[in-house]
Amino acid sequence: MLPNYLPRPPRGDRPLVVLGISDVVVIEGSPAVPVTMHHVSAWGRWVRDVAIPDDAAARVRRLADRYDVVWASEWGHNAHTAFAAALDLPEEPWPFLPVQFDKLDRIRAYAGDMPWAWIDGPVVDLHDPGDVTDGVLVRVDPGAGISGVDLDLLDARIAELSR
């Protein structure tokens, strides 16, 4: 884990779904799915106009209904607050891991014995994560983000882990 950073521990009663932001919730470049531009802010310190898939809020909600969602991105704690309105997120922020690249070790350390899945874009892999058998690794199409993830298949793969 990052020295001197202690993330809020997982609830421990449900599998984890770890979400990146860029390429997952935010589409950079040409979108392959319908998107809407949102003006997001980090406590007023800065703003960005970002393209978010129109069904991202519903998909994130579906994940949150079944799993503990953890943000893992360079957005830090702003991952939840910046996207709260656009994704209709609950007021209580979800835990976050402030890491931008090669996140696998941090995710494993955070998850411990919990089953986990990690959804992210390919750019975050400065090193090939290789074959991952202790979790579910989902790499999105950057043009579609979370909209392109087969959530039923994800459920099945997570259930397989939990056995």
Partner 1 sequence: MDTGTAYGLRPGSPLNELAQVGPGTPYGEVLRRYWQPVAKVEDATTRPISLKVLGEELILFRTRKGKPGLLHPRCIHRGASLFYGGVEEEGIRCCYHGWVFDTEGHCLEQPCEPEMGLHRDRVRQPWYPVQEQYGLIWAYMGPPEKKPLLPRYDTFENLADDEVLIVNDKGVGGGGPEVLDFNWLQHWENVMDPFHVPILHARFSGNQFTPEMALIPEVSYEYTPTGVRSIQMRELGDGRQLRRVTEVMFPNLRVVASPKLASGQTNMIGWVVPMDDTNFRIFTVARDSDPDFLLKLRSTHEGKPWKELTDLEHQRLPGDYEAQKSQGDISLHTEDHLTTTDQGIAMVRRMMAKQIRLVANGGDPAGVVFDEDSRVVRIEGGNYFEGAADAPLLAEAVED
Beta carbon nearer to partner 1, 59 or 106:
106
Contact 29, 55 (CB under 8 A): no
State which of positions 12-71 bind partner 1 (CB under 8 A).
22, 28, 42-49
Binding to partner 1, residues 114-143 (CB under 8 A): 122-124, 126-127
Cβ atoms within 10 Å of 38's Cβ, excluding its own: 18
- Sequence letter at residue 99: V
Which residues, 6 or more positions from 138, have their beta carbon under 8 angstroms from its beta carbon? 117, 118, 119, 120, 149, 154
Q: Figure out which of the listed residues 14, 61, 77, 157 binds partner 1, where binding follows CB under 8 A.
A: 77
Select the span of 9-17, 64-72, 83-91, 97-105 touching partner 1 (CB under 8 A).
Answer: 97-105
Residues at the contact surface with partner 1, assessed by CB under 8 A:
2-5, 22, 28, 42-49, 74-78, 98-102, 122-124, 126-127
